[in-house]
Amino acid sequence: MRQRLLYSLLIVAMLVPWAPALPQTANSTQQAVSRPNSPKPYAPDERLLLASARQGNASAQFWLGTGYEQGWFGTPDFRNALKWLRRSAEKGDADAQNALGQMYENGEGVTQNYTIAAKWYKKAAEHYPDLGGAGQGRNNLGMLYLYGRGVPRDYVQAYMWFRLTDFEPNLSLAKAHMTPEQILEAERFAAEWKSQHSTPE
């Protein structure tokens, strides 16, 4: 699975008691991490995550699923990864929704299915604000629209989702295929989406 955002890791570190055992950089999710002043590397405590996940903690379910998918507890275990990520995603966790989308897009532990990937990316993308999985879901959904994988090829939709992440390289990629009118339409869609989603519920 692609890298998680550092910001997501920092938020988790502030919210949950087992977070100090989690990797603290986006590039370190596949390796054990060394604690400062500790001679040997360590990984998150599977038992603590499992206990919290069984009690219904969506964040613990996400990290447990990620741990299984990344092989933090030994070899990767895609069956358990899917189980826990799905539970978290069904509770509305944007990071888990994006992670499930990535597993389906990449055919990781499941049959590759871009349509199901798009479904999970869309669920993640609809979260506001766009921390962690929401922003990643928007970008990933935009890529599916850009190439017509699991959704019809639609440069306006691709551009709109990229605009919502403000990721310039992908905006430029979509823009290269668009007319000025299509760009204006996509900008309007993005502005409408922001106004609908940024109001307090």
Please report the beta strands in the chain, taking only residues with DSSP state E, as ranges in sequence order. Answer: 33-34, 41-42
CATH class of 6-25+44-197: mainly alpha
Asked whether residue 185 carries a pLDDT value surpassing 50, the answer given is yes
- In this prediction, residue 129 has a pLDDT band, given cuts at 50, 70 and 90, of confident
Structure tokens at 35: 């604690």
pTM for the structure as a whole: 0.77
Asked whether residue 3 carries a pLDDT value surpassing 50, the answer given is no
CA distance 99 to 64: 12
Asked if residue 32 lies in contact with residue 42, where contact means CB atoms within 8 angstroms, the answer is yes
